[in-house]
Amino acid sequence: MSVLDDIIAGVREDLEARKLKVSLAQLQDLIAARDPALDAWAALGGDSPRAGVKVIAEVKRRSPSKGALAEIADPARLAGKYADGGAAVISVLTEERRFGGSLADLDAVRAAVGIPVLRKDFTCDPYQIWEARAHGADLILLIVAALGDAELAEYLALAHELGMNALVETHTSEEVQRAVAAGARIIGVNVRNLKTLDVDRSVFGSLAGLIPAEALVVAESGVRDADDVRAYAGHGANAVLVGEALVSHATPGERIAEFGSAGAAAISAAAISAEATATADSGRALS
């Protein structure tokens, strides 16, 4: 059994317990009383995709690969620092067994910030999508490796029906193809293999070019510093999802601002390089 399979087995057990406490009808009533979801597509630069690199800042207590990362006694306060630092979206881990998260964390963050919130979990049942919106999420995570094609299309459609966006996560070229075929507009490339937990940052560069220009591309995992952000931006990232490098930093808001500046500089340099190449090609054609 892979690490991903093991995580999902636990998620399913915990999900069945929650279903006994809160019915789908109750979730639907909660959704009806909520304001509409915020537009994560626009927040991530969907209307001007090369204007800069957005930061999805994550509330993350621990991970299967690193263990404990941070205490995070007050997730709302941390999310506020993220938002003040310029984060475009706040990601909240809600998986409890491996990541120490909860829906209570999602509730606290949603109440504290006015920007889109991503429910970061291992979605394997439509109930979780209703649950995410009922707790105020504007964006959900769909992991292609964990879903069949029919499930991926169904869950993506349900998210859109509820007014949310979906970050569709990939790790291989075949998964990118499946995400595109399903109609994903926000496609993540996770450089961490969820089946082994190994990290290979070169994966992003090899896959980002396979994603259509009309989609937003999110680099997931492996962001240690501004150099990593610059590298991802140079390969076409519209956004980076960052957890450990923020929760373990004394001033996460300043680090978010640093990452944003690094991404913008990389995009500007790439544009200048492309313009110079085009000019040189034009000159050769005329000579």
* Residues belonging to the active site: 58, 60, 120, 169, 190, 220-221
Phi (first) and psi of residue 54, to 5 degrees:
-85, 155
* Both tokens assigned to 91: 């990601």
Report residue 253 as tokens. Answer: 């808001």
209-227 core/surface letters (b: 16 or more CB in 10 A; e: else)? eebeeebbbbbbbbbeebe
Whether 70 and 248 have beta carbons less than 8 Å apart is answered as yes
Strands (E), 144-267: 165-170, 186-190, 216-220, 239-242
Give the pairing type, strands 62-63 and 67-68. Answer: antiparallel
CA distances from 131 to 31, 137, 157, 227, 281 (A): 9, 9, 15, 37, 54
Q: Distance between CA 26 and CA 61 in Å, rounded? A: 29
Structure tokens at 19: 């279903």
CB 270 within 8 A of CB 230: no
Contact, 170 vs 206, CB < 8 A? no
Compute CA 261 distance to the chain's CA centroid, rounded to the nearest angstrom: 20
Determine how many CB atoms are found less than 10 A away from the CB of residue 21. Answer: 7
Length of the chain as a residue count: 287
